[in-house]
Chain A
Amino acid sequence: MAQRTKSESEPTSLESLLAAKEIAVFCGSGGVGKTTTAAAAAAMAAVKLGGKVLVLTVDPAKRLANALGLQGFGNEEKRVPVSAFKAAGQPHPRGELWAAMLDTKQSWDNLVRRHAPDAVTAARILENPLYQNISGRFVQSHEYIAMERLYELHSEGNFDLIVVDTPPTRNALDFIEAPERMAEFFSSRLLRLLIVPYRSRVVNLASRPFYQVADRILGSQFLQDIAEFFILFQTMYAGFVERSQAVARLLRDKRTTFVVVTTLEAAPAHEAEFFIDVLTSKKFHLDALVLNKVLPAYFNDEAASSRAVMLADRAPELAAKVAGVTGDDPAQVERVLIEVGESFCNFGVVAQREASERAQLSEAPAVVASVPYFETDIYDLEGLLRLGEKFWT
């Protein structure tokens, strides 16, 4: 049987992976701790690897945002002060940690200003009600703009490593496909049909049914609004398509790595599995899997479980003996022993479920890291570093 030999460059830890990459995209379904994990990875990279590290985050919890100095600073990259590292017990980080939050609306506006042929057109687009609606709620507008902003930050070249926390998506794949879809959208034949001047529509037999239906459903005024908007937008067409193709290329570049984050709950784990499949088959560089909020291993220890059962079953008798030593009320001790035993068995059931989910994630990427369940919230740099230590090497 041919043995798959590990190439020398294959990463063995998140540390070696992030040391070799310029962009790390953290993805996974909602609620798995993606934002925190991405921030922890960036903080670790700043401390251990050095250089300028940026975490581009989407919707951090308020306390975490405060800890990163992100309150009230839209799109701007802000440096996390050295004093924060000092307070976290790391007075001498090797590098710098920067953080930025994604402001969808502002990023779209910037994009329009960049691609519009002149300031007047830009202003007309920005004022168009359809644009305002679209920039907020465009299908995949969040996803696209996150990747677009990533491209912009990367090409400015101010950072050695950019860690991206992806927006919560309806479909986990939206954001990797968003740049390609954006390019497709602006090249579509239907778009050209829509922006044909109204008069010439009437004479064009081939497309007449389309207009009749569209007029009937949406009203011709609305169609004209759409047409005007897209005529304006068309002035940006070339720049837009070129740009979204460049963004798509960057995502597939070997300087970019994907990290899938998941918990071992059924739904997120299944989504992670699906995500791993697709990223792999579409030839993105998926190099790491972070299993988050994993229950302590002792819950899977069969001998411990049987002792837990014994503790609960023999509680009255054991309680009497314990009470003899501690002087507590035996009835109270009995209740405590039963709770301890039963609670262990309860979490044991969950741990077993997690273990079987984990076994199903067998097609895992090169680096697999487990992060234990933190009983308390993580809301400062110290917490991030504590978390980071668990998956770094």
Chain B
Amino acid sequence: MPSQPQSPPPLNLLDRKLVFVTGKGGVGKTAVTAALGLLAAERGKRTLVCEVDSKGNLADFFETGPTGFEERELQPNLWAMSMDTEASLKQYLQLQLKLGLVARIGPLARMFDFVATAAPGVKEIVTVGKLCWEVRERHYDLVVVDAAPTGHIVGQLAAPQAINGLIQVGPVRQQTGWMLDILGNPRTTGVAIVTTPEEMPVNETIELQGRLQAETNVDLAAVIVNRVLPELFGRGEEEVFERLWDREVSSLLETEVGGSVEPLLDGARMAVTLRRTRAEHLERLRDGIDPATPMLYLPYLFARSHGLRSTRQLAEALSAELGF
């Protein structure tokens, strides 16, 4: 039997079928999800982008109307939807358990709410189940999920195992098997952690890497570092910059541009310090993440708003990082 190569080259993020995008709140998780979806669609993949948390601002990044549980085509190859656990349960009961009648029973919503509150994992499995089902049925080439933030993602991804532990028999138990297969296959499914080069996002990224390994069977596909500030000065240039503060030089500049240059110099110094502080966290991140995990870097966008234009810029940066 031919021996397996020690470590196969990492799969390109977009070659998987199901990518969960997570990260600490405020790092730009939704923006990156939108950009990944846009890039995949423009590269010819039938792509579904799904937001799981009901914040409902995925639509803003495509400058489109609100998204619902029904997938909507935003542009060629690109569909978007928002998870609705109750609608998902109805669909699930109809399609998987052939319980068409159930959907018509009045208090379904209240019963669902109740069972979901009582039995942790139910809401999560209905969410994860819907996504896995789209993958199993090959409705799309790629499903990109704006998933729960770092604090909740493990609960979401580990839901099938949790349910397996709680429910010993019955149709639900049978359902978790195929979901685990899809989630556990690294060629199919991966997690992308979005972070920024700041203290807490980096801490949570490293911590989540460990928890994904210990508590789920899902592969860490990539770490995406968002909002990387540009390096202002190259070698030797910082000394040149410092000399601009000399009275003689700054008064020369002030005469030329017709006013104080102090705010300009202050601003540049702030940018340099900010980047330096962040570089330390970036260093820590590199040390903490398995070297086999691809790291992708996205620039800080100095943009007026976060609409489709920014999404496109991020998609372009991702494209370059992914080697396209």
Contact = CB atoms under 8 A, between A and B. Distances in A.
A218 to B, nearest CB: 6
Interface string B51-63: 0011101001000
A129 interface: yes
Interface string A208-224: 01100110111101100
Contact of A130 (B166, B168, B199): B166
Contacts, number: 222
Interface stretch (B9-17, B97-105, B176-184): B97-105
Contacts of A271: 55
Nearest to A229: B118
Contacts of B117: 138-139, 185
A349 B93 CA distance: 50
B6 interface: no
Contacts of A137: 120-121, 155
A362 interface: no
Contacts of A344: 263-264, 267-268
A341 B243 contact: no
A270 B24 CA distance: 18
A114 interface: no
A170 B53 contact: yes
A230 to B, nearest CB: 7
B267 A296 contact: yes
Given A218-B170, A266-B306, A30 B114 contact: no
A367 B18 CA distance: 46
A264 B265 CA distance: 24
SS class, residues of chain A in contact with chain B = helix
Interface stretch (B35-43, B137-145, B246-254, B290-298): B246-254
B152 interface: yes
B257 A332 contact: no
B266 interface: yes
B174 to A, nearest CB: 10
B1 interface: no
A5 interface: no
Nearest to B54: A171
Contact of B24 (A31, A222, A343, A352): A31
A267 B57 contact: yes
A210 B111 contact: yes
Interface string B132-167: 000000000000000011011001000000100111
B66 interface: no
Contacts of B60: 266
B120 A134 contact: yes
Contacts of B244: 322, 336, 340
Interface string A185-218: 1001011001000000000000001100110111
Interface string B286-318: 000000000000000011111000000000000
Nearest to B119: A226
Contact of B167 (A219, A303, A307): A219
B151 to A, nearest CB: 6
B45 interface: no
Given A139-B116, A170-B53, A219 B170 contact: yes
A136 B158 CA distance: 13
B261 interface: yes
B268 A298 contact: no
Interface stretch (A16-24, A49-57, A87-95, A310-318): A310-318
Contacts of B116: 139
A299 B267 contact: yes
B105 A222 contact: no
B168 to A, nearest CB: 6
Contacts of B110: 190
B96 to A, nearest CB: 10
Contacts of B230: 343
A340 B271 CA distance: 9
Given A213-B111, A310-B257, A325-B248, A133 B120 contact: yes
Contacts of B162: 133
Interface stretch (B73-81, B185-193, B217-225, B232-240): B232-240
Contacts of A194: 114, 118
A217 B116 CA distance: 13
Given A139-B120, A168-B25, A377-B199, A133 B236 contact: no
A273 to B, nearest CB: 13
A51 to B, nearest CB: 30
Given A191-B114, A349-B303, A307 B243 contact: no
A220 to B, nearest CB: 8
B267 A311 contact: no
A31 B27 CA distance: 7
Contacts of B105: 209, 213
A353 B307 CA distance: 13
A221 B165 CA distance: 12
Contact of B249 (A59, A130, A322): A322
A61 B273 CA distance: 21
B68 to A, nearest CB: 18
B151 A168 contact: yes
Contacts of B115: 214, 218
Interface of B: 24-27, 30, 53-55, 57, 60, 93, 97, 99, 102, 105, 107, 110-111, 114-121, 123, 148-149, 151-152, 155, 162, 165-173, 198-201, 203, 230, 232-234, 236-237, 240-241, 243-244, 246, 248-249, 252-253, 256-261, 263-268, 270-271, 273-274, 277, 302-306
Given A29-B26, A298-B267, 17 more contacts: A61-B199, A170-B149, A213-B111, A214-B111, A216-B97, A217-B172, A222-B166, A222-B168, A222-B170, A266-B60, A267-B55, A304-B259, A340-B244, A343-B267, A344-B264, A349-B304, A353-B303
Interface of A: 29-32, 59, 61-63, 129-130, 133-134, 136-139, 168, 170-171, 185, 188, 190-191, 194, 209-210, 213-214, 216-219, 221-222, 225-226, 230, 263, 265-268, 270-271, 296, 298-299, 301, 303-304, 307-308, 310-311, 314, 318, 321-322, 325-326, 328-329, 332-333, 335-336, 339-341, 343-344, 346-347, 349-350, 352-353, 373, 375-377, 379
6 contacts: A62-B203, A134-B120, A213-B102, A219-B170, A344-B263, A346-B302
